[in-house]
Amino acid sequence: MTDTNDADQPGAEPDAVSVDSAVHDPVAAAILEALAAVKPGGSVSPEDVARAVAERRRKANDRPDLWRRYLSAVKQQAIHLARAGEIQVLRKGQPVEDPARAKGVVRYRLPG
């Protein structure tokens, strides 16, 4: 299997996330899929995405609140996608400057 990580390239930023690498991560892909499904300018909550990821991975004996296990992964992937410019993290309807420092209720939307 060939490693396609751009961080190994000279001049590449190691923390940058490309769309290609996001597609390889199922949580990042779920965020982008959820945003593609909403109307233009619409947003989704981290909980909505976590619930979608949990439903895809649910087993017969899993608890109803399985989605809570995926919430931190959703938030982490959203930070990476926001830093790469693929999504915006919103707080009170406004984009936040540093998505890693966003506290409280946040939502995600596509830029533009």
| pLDDT for 9 | 44
- Domain residues for the domain of 100 are 16-109
Residue 1 lies in a domain: no
Structure tokens at 100: 């890693």
**pLDDT band of 13, cuts 50, 70, 90:** very low
> Does residue 103 form part of some domain?
yes
Q: Which residue has the tokens 């993290």?
A: 89
User: Can you list the pairs that 3-8 forms with residues at least 24 positions away whose Cβ atoms lie under 8 Å?
Assistant: none
Q: Is position 24 within any domain?
A: yes
Q: Does 22 or 77 have the greater pLDDT score?
A: 77
83-94 pLDDT per residue, tens: 999 999 999 999
pLDDT above 90: residue 112:
no
DSSP one-letter string for 46-87: HHHHHHHHHHHH--TT--TTTHHHHHHHHHHHHHHHHHTTS-
* CATH at residue 40: 1.10.10.10
4 in a structural domain: no
Phi, psi of 12 (to 5 degrees): -80, 145
Q: How many domains does the chain have?
A: 1
